[in-house]
Structure 1
Amino acid sequence: MPTRLVLANLLLLVASIASRSAIAAPQDVANHRLVAYTEQWPPYNFSESGKVQGIATDILRAACELAELRCSFQVVPWARGYKVVRSTANTVLYTTARKPSREDHFLWVGPLLPRTTWVYARNIPGAPPREAKELAQLRIGVVREEAAMQDLQAAGVPASALIEESSNDAVFRMLMGDMVQAMVDTEVGMAWNLRSVGRPTGSVTKLLKLSDDGGYYFALNRQSNPLMVRKLQQAVDKLRADGRLDAIVKNYEPAP
């Protein structure tokens, strides 16, 4: 066979393979469903009237639409969601603090929001703690497997002082019911919780800052479709660049 004919056939073969690959890539993503797991932690993620919503939920829903991904949402206890996403491809856990201890556990998409957490308390006898190491004297409600639990233990709070629950919502109810003396939350999260039960901000005392590192992200299983992860990151970047991410956050701010 003449050399020119061989080269022509090779070029046609390469072009055909490239064309099929270009077509297959979007289909590979379109044929995969991204299953999102989250907890009851308003206003970031929560279920109300049968619909999963919240700041991070709305960001993820908008990002999935931009990336042309089919996404479904489930609200479960945080520890269960963490376990499922660690072991199941094409799943995502949110709203997840990105910590060094978790870095190799997931593929990270974000950042979504900054992370600053505070220790809030009520009905504490005597002088309130002013340093993290003094928190050991309190009964502190925590969400099982959450980053704040790690932060408290890193600050020297023993496991015996921590009362575990399945969600932020459940821990807040324990605090309001005086079953624990303190809990960890963001300013936005605590303000929302207090408004939801008609309590004034003075119902709790902000004791001290626990952490301001990590940032909040979407955490995907490490075996997830790489193109899906890349498209999701690109979508989040676009939402931030065009102002839609900030608009979603503002939707959950209290009315003036």
Structure 2
Amino acid sequence: MFKRLLMLLGSTLMVLVGTARAEVSQSESLVLLTENFPPYNMATNGKNFAQDENINGIAVEIVREMFKRAGVGYNLTLRFPWDRIYNLALEKPGYGVFVTARLPEREALFKWVGPIGPDDWVMLAKGDSPLRLESLEQAAKYRIGAYKGDAISQYLSDKGIEHSASLRDQENARKLMAGQIDLWATGDPAGRYLAKQEGIGGLKTVLRFDSAELYLALNHETADDLVARLQAALDGMRAEGVIDEIQGRYL
């Protein structure tokens, strides 16, 4: 009787331990969201929806290795538009979004892991444009196109600079070549990479007006120790030259 009781107790403990392990595993598995933002993140088929192995890019490779080293589970989805995935990460525990600029007005909204890469903010013009600009105030006299919902568009709005906003940043490359806008406010190297994908080259930087570092933004309820493990993994990758190696394959 006593032996049977011990066996029953042992079986119960195994079930409880297994359940606890499953709960820990589940609690440390994040839902990661991204968008088409070459060369940092992009769907292998060029569409606006992809999952897991069908997504690549500089940031995607960095994030995959970082999560592997930190021992944190995840699933990855590329979706459209940016506003939607940004707000999901903002509102839903267990969610994160990358890459996004770490701006002062966003600082308290998320927990941050990074930087993953730089994003210089530039005004691009056609290669034969005579424009030479020294300030955003000068740029404001011209027709500017930007990407709806992203940090550059937000920055221009905050500065009171009128601009049109496209749902896809590469649309601005086509608008620029068609003469529908005079300037394309975008990131570097992202803008040039997107233009290249559209068969457009020779664009000229006429103003470099700001820069930002790009991060993984995690919902503010994410556990601090999990964030610290991810940051430590990323710091280790940088010290070992892994990040430079990944960037070199794309740029």
1:136 corresponds to 2:134: no
**Following the alignment from structure 1 to structure 2, what is the Cα–Cα distance between the partners of residues 170 and 72?**
29
Shift of 1:57: 1.1
- Give the equivalent residue in structure 2 for 1:83: 87
Cα deviation code 1:185-227 (max 9, x no counterpart):
23322332233233332xx221111202x31111111012333
- Give the equivalent residue in structure 1 for 2:5: none
**Following the alignment from structure 2 to structure 1, what is the Cα–Cα distance between the partners of residues 130 and 117?**
36
- Distance 1:185-1:57 versus aligned 2 partners, 3 A rule: same
- Distance 1:103-1:31 versus aligned 2 partners, 3 A rule: closer
**Following the alignment from structure 1 to structure 2, what is the Cα–Cα distance between the partners of residues 226 and 207?**
42
SS for the counterpart of 2:180 is: coil
- Give the equivalent residue in structure 2 for 1:182: 183
- Distance 1:230-1:25 versus aligned 2 partners, 3 A rule: farther
Contact 1:90 1:225 in 2 (8 A): no
Cα deviation code 1:114-154 (max 9, x no counterpart):
33211112389875543211222222222222111233234
SS for the counterpart of 2:221 is: coil
- Distance 1:88-1:170 versus aligned 2 partners, 3 A rule: farther
Letter in 2 for 1:207: V
- Distance 1:96-1:173 versus aligned 2 partners, 3 A rule: same
- Distance 1:223-1:174 versus aligned 2 partners, 3 A rule: farther
1:104 corresponds to 2:108: yes
1:209 corresponds to 2:208: yes
Task: Report 1:52-71 matches (<5 A).
Answer: 52-71=55-74
Percent identity between the two aligned chains: 27
| Structure 1 alignment gaps of length 5 or more | 1-19
Q: Which residue, out of 118, 122, 134, partners 2:122?
A: 118
The structure in which a higher percent of residues are strand is 2
Matched pairs, number: 227
Contact 1:78 1:167 in 2 (8 A): no
Letter in 2 for 1:99: L
SS for the counterpart of 1:215 is: strand
Shift of 1:232: 1.3
- Give the equivalent residue in structure 2 for 1:245: 243
- Give the equivalent residue in structure 1 for 2:6: none
Cα deviation code 1:219-244 (max 9, x no counterpart):
11101233322221121111111111
| Structure 2 alignment gaps of length 5 or more | 1-15
